[in-house]
Structure 1
Amino acid sequence: MMINTLVKALLNPSPHTFSGAILIFTLLFVFQKYRPKKVRISKQNQLPPGPMPWPLVGCLPAMLQQKPVSRWIHLLMKDMNTDIACVRIGKVHVISITCPKIAQEVVRKKDAILASRPTSFATNLLVGGTIFCPFGDQWKKMRRILTSEVVCPARHCSLYDKRADEANHLVQYVYNLCQSSKDIDIRVVARHYCGNVTRRLMFNKRYFSQVMPDGGPGADEIEQINAIFDLLRYIFAFCISDYFPSLIGLDLDGHEKILKTARKTLDKLHDPIITERIKLWRQGSSDSERETQDWLDVLVSLKDADGHFLLTAEEIKTQTIELFLASVDNPSHAVECILAEMMNNPDVLQEATNEIDRVVGNERLVDECDIPRLNYLKACIREAIRLHPLVPFNPPHQAMEDTTIAGYFIPKGSHVLLSRLGLGRNPKTWEEPLKFKPERHLTDKCSDVLLTEPELRFISFSSGRRGCLGVTLGTTMTVILLARLL
């Protein structure tokens, strides 16, 4: 485009093309003069090592040229042989971390300083929840509600029947597909099992409207799951406007349209149910005449010390979406990857089925009470989460004040990213990091394999203030999905 403008100015001079040519010559001169010549590899200015940024725009030119950006950052860190790197985009310092010890420093020693989240166009679509909310009173309120009322052990036990019903439905659905000689798409099966479970826990229903005769998802359920994965894919995807807020509305990446459409789809499906439930609880029968049947009942019926309803309709809608985002992605993706790896490693498949035969037998199906003894299956899940994360980075932490990490200066407002890909595949941590080896997670010291990873050698549920609250539910859904399909 620049060359075309210069040619037009030379061949057909006019005030408009001439002024455009002058502007382009000026920009080219500035960029050439200040063009980065080398990579910073020391603690220069105490910042972590990284590429020398352009004036004003930082590393935006490289970010636009190198897609996906996550791959560019990881290759940059590999070339520089560093476990912590700094890439400045606009005024924002983006800090990427691939070392478990440094990651532990982020979520433990510096957790109070790095407990916030940056705001963006995407997060503004989900105001009032917990996952993407900046640190503050709103986040504390919603986290307290989730911890004590929604994903607490008592609630998990009370909703067992709904989870068990969906596990049985999964088997029946796959059996129906086999009987009809249809190909079985594991991604569809896995994602919609997770969607069904979460829908039952949230709305006490499997389908929004039409019940499908084969037990599979209908049009509304497919639309919902697709919208959820669109949000997951684009909510922190290095959008230009995340670093240059003045560009919000121009949609230079095309992300804004996708995110708006996804939120609109979820509102269309969720809002009628939520509105009706609010009316039922707050304008209909008294609390004593009703019992909480699902998560939505809990969110709608909560009251403060003065007897006022605790959550607004918008807070309930946002938290509903976030609970779907947190429940659907990792279990379905992990099981899909495990089954793919087992196709390439028959010995792993045989060992997993042998364990089910030993623990469960052939007279019944796997149940939640079997989970503590299915250690090899849980080792397979840990290995899949380590080797095949759904997204390359965890949602960013934002520094609320100047701090240091691994001896480097981290300015206030920096985005600190824990690399799921880098931590899980770090050759300094893992022997043969690209090989699928569930045995590496089995040790004589541990009688019960857990999906959590407190040492952050990979990220499953993270930890600290921003750690996932649904460890028990996530473990249950993932193990049952894998075991039932096996």
Structure 2
Amino acid sequence: MSVDTVGFRELAMAALLFIITQFFIRSLLSKHYRRLPPGPRGLPVVGALPHLGSMPHAVLAKMAKKYGPVMYLKMGTCGMAVASTPDAARAFLKVLDLNFSNRPPNAGATYLAYNAQDMVFADYGPRWKLLRKLSNLHMVGGKALEDWAQVRAVELGHMLQTMHELGSRGEPVVVPEMLCYAMANMIGQVILSRRVFETKGSESNEFKDMVVELMTTAGYFNIGDFIPSIAWMDLQGIERGMKQLHKKFDILLTKMIEEHRASASERKGKPDFLDVVMSHQENSGDEKLTMTNIKALLLNLFTAGTDTSSSIIEWALAEMLKNPTILKRVHNEMDGVIGRNRRLKESDIPKLPYLQAICKETFRKHPSTPLNLPRVSTEACQVNGYYIPKDTRLSVNIWAIGRDPDVWENPLDFIPERFLSGRNAKIDPRGNDFELIPFGAGRRICAGTRMGIVLVEYILGTLVHSFDWRLPDGVELNMDEAFGLALQKAVPLSAIVTPRLPPNMYAA
């Protein structure tokens, strides 16, 4: 064997050793820089899905105490990041907002929202921007809300009259049914120039049941969303229920649109929201709306517009029934500002800081959306030093943030006073203060944020100012939650109301 051959072998071995060393160094560096956030060890195939149970927001909040503010869960074949503190939410929804501006595909978007042709589930792009722009300009934005202030006052008058009649007979008011009926008519007046339900009865109750079913089923963690290869089996029966519910809503929406077209001559020169939206079917711009887009948008507005605000008002009333001193204090505030010879006006609200504090405290403790609607990463990114892969689903636990003891003193107690002084007095629920984000934050914040705050403050304030409230004899207050896209009371609030104002204040 020649010296040259031995030297070549030594050189080759050295080169091979160098390559192997580099491989291991890069592997270690890759693992260091691509370290996933901590999280629970899931089961084979299904991952952490079975761990979430029927109250995922509460389970995830408990997990966060163990694993930290940013967690990573393997959910079937998908990865899911969960943010559970204000700083973690800010990192995802502000710093990385654009990267998390889309929704992941899911059964709710497919079978309820016309295959994501709506505003809530649509991809971030031209169609979403057009739907959002139209909604802001003509329904949920500041100027639009001012334009239909009288509609809110009239419909609230109808609700007060019905409640006054029930109270005079000693019959209880079922709060969520009453609120859903009134809000659906408010929205109907703006969208269709007419009340959706002329009288409260079986039709309006069915609509309420449909809305609750939609918000509940759309909030389920559906196995098929996380393991697409077995989605066709519909193991939980969720997709079957969604398809049946979609048919009911489609019939209702089709009827609304057909009746609206038939009455076009009555609105000459006074177009309503649906007229404006339908005019964009012939839009000469780059983006046109189909009838499917229009139906999907109406579905968003009628369901989210009625259920989320009504659940907040119901929770607020329940907390005041549980804490009578709070009800007494807000009554005293209102009597001093408004008196008892007229109804509350929206212009009174800025002069009622304790009422506003009650609303904020309810947003904190009982957010209408406990887990924000899921988002998905367009590209891989880093958060808090952790690697977040592309196509990772994001869930922000708004419920956990509102109950974080590092942010809120005595977070399980309902204390409106916390918002009257100190740093909390400046906190606003419109998405810039991440300690309180009941409507989400960033570019996919709920389009109806401004409308939701107005409805909650005005309707809750009017109900509190107009009546004394108590539970029916022998009834105990149940404060259990029922999980869904909107956080419902497990047992609907039923209460006896007694008028506080002159009889003529309850006329429609």
Same fold (TM over 0.5): yes
How much does 1:250 deviate? Answer: 2.4
Contact 1:98/1:422 (8 A) holds in 2: yes
Q: 1:422 aligns with which of 389, 400, 409?
A: 400
Query: 2:104–2:393: 8 Å Cα contact kept in structure 1?
Result: yes
Q: Which amino acid aligns with 1:290?
A: G
Match of 2:211 in 1: 228
Kept in 2: contact 1:97–1:422 (CA 8 A): no
CA separation of 1:154 and 1:405: change in aligned 2, threshold 3 A: same
Residues 285-344 of structure 1: CA deviation (Å, up to 9, x unaligned): 699x4321x322221234666389942211110000101233112321112111111122
Conserved 8 A contact 1:381-1:451: no
Amino acid at match of 2:215: L
| Secondary structure, counterpart of 1:51 in structure 2 | coil
1:322 maps to which residue?
Answer: 300
Give the one of 61, 64, 67 matched to 1:77: 64
Aligned to 1:16: none
Residue 135 (structure 1) aligned with residue 163 (structure 2)? no
Distance 2:253 2:388 in 1: 41
Task: Report the number of matched residues.
Answer: 431
2:39 corresponds to which of 40, 50, 58: 50
Identity of aligned residues (%): 29
Question: Which of 379, 384, 399 in structure 2 is aligned with 1:406?
Answer: 384
What's the CA shift string for 1:136-167, capped at 9, x where partnerless? 33222322322334323332222222111011
Q: What residue in structure 2 maps to residue 290 of structure 1?
A: 269
Q: Does 1:99 pair with 2:85?
A: yes
State whether structure 2 residue 104 is matched by structure 1 residue 118.
yes
**Distance in 2 of aligned mates of 1:167 and 1:388:** 24
Task: Report the alpha carbon displacement of residue 438 of structure 1 after superposing the two structures with TM.
Answer: 0.3
For residue 374 of structure 2, the aligned residue among 387, 396, 399 is: 396
Alignment of 1:169-208 (within 5 A): 169-208=158-197
Is the alpha carbon distance of 1:449 and 1:100 closer, same or farther for their aligned partners in structure 2, counting shifts above 3 Å? closer
Q: Shift of the alpha carbon at 1:122? A: 1.2
**Where does residue 23 of structure 1 map in the other structure?**
none
- What amino acid is aligned across from residue 438 of structure 1 in structure 2? P
Task: Return the offset for 1:445.
Answer: 7.4
TM-score, normalised to structure 1, is 0.82
Partner amino acid for 1:95?
Answer: A
Q: Answer yes or no: is the 8 Å Cα contact 1:96–1:417 preserved in 2.
A: yes
- Partner SS state of residue 80, structure 2: strand
One-letter amino acid of the counterpart of residue 239, structure 1: N
Residue of structure 1 equivalent to 2:19:
none
Structure 1: which 5+ residue stretches go unaligned?
1-41
Greater C-alpha Rg: 2
8 Å Cα contact 1:43/1:49 also seen in 2: no
Name 1:485's counterpart in structure 2.
463
| Other structure's SS at 2:233 match | coil
Q: Structure 1 residues 304, 358: closer, same or farther in 2, change over 3 A?
A: farther
Paired residue type of 2:72 = C
Instruction: Label 1:270 to 1:377 Cα distance change in 2 as closer, same or farther (>3 A).
Output: same
Pair 1:384-2:362 in alignment: yes
C-alpha distance 199-43 of structure 1, shift in aligned 2 (>3 A): farther
Find the partner of 2:201 among 213, 218, 238. Answer: 218
Among 222, 247, 268, the alignment partner of 1:264 is 247
Q: 2:179 touches 2:310 (CA, 8 Å); kept in 1?
A: yes
Q: In the alignment, does 2:415 pair up with 1:437?
A: yes
What stretches of structure 2 of length at least 5 have no aligned partner?
Answer: 1-30, 465-508
The answer on whether the counterparts of 1:401 and 1:411 sit within 8 Å (CA) in structure 2 is yes
Q: Distance in 2 between matches of 1:450 and 1:51?
A: 34
1:159 aligned partner: 148
- Of 340, 354, 360, the residue aligned with 2:332 is 354
CA drift at 1:56: 4.2
Is the partner of 2:93 in helix, strand or coil? helix
The AA in structure 2 aligned to 1:314 is T
Structure 2 residue 385 is the aligned partner of structure 1 residue 375:
no
Question: Contact 1:117–1:132 (CA<8 Å) still a contact in 2?
Answer: yes
Counterpart AA for 1:419: N
Please tell me whether the aligned partners of residues 372 and 397 of structure 2 are also in contact (alpha carbons under 8 angstroms).
Answer: yes
Give the Cα–Cα distance (whole angstroms) in 1 for the partners of residues 256 and 319 of structure 2. 40
Distance in 2, Cα, partners of 1:134 & 1:159: 30
State the partner residue of 1:22.
none
What is the CA-CA distance between 1:172 and the residue it aligns to?
A: 0.7
Amino acid at match of 1:268: I
Aligned to 1:18: none
Note closer, same or farther for the CA distance 1:401–1:46 as it changes in structure 2 (3 Å cut): same
Cα distance change on mapping 1:89 and 1:199 into 2, 3 Å: same
Structure 2 distance, partners of 1:326, 1:122, is: 14
Q: Is the 8 A contact 1:378 1:451 kept in 2?
A: no
Tell me how far apart the structure 2 counterparts of residues 93 and 412 of structure 1 sit (CA, whole Å). Answer: 9
Cα pair 2:72 2:82 within 8 Å, conserved: yes
Distance 1:278 1:309 in 2: 23
Residue equivalent to 1:30 = none
In the aligned structure 2, how far is the partner of 1:463 from the partner of 1:244? 29
Structure with the bigger RCO (C-alpha within 8 Å, sep 6+) is 2
What does residue 253 of structure 1 align with?
Answer: 236
The residue aligned with 1:35 is: none
Question: Are residues 1:150 and 2:133 paired?
Answer: no
* 1:275 match: 258
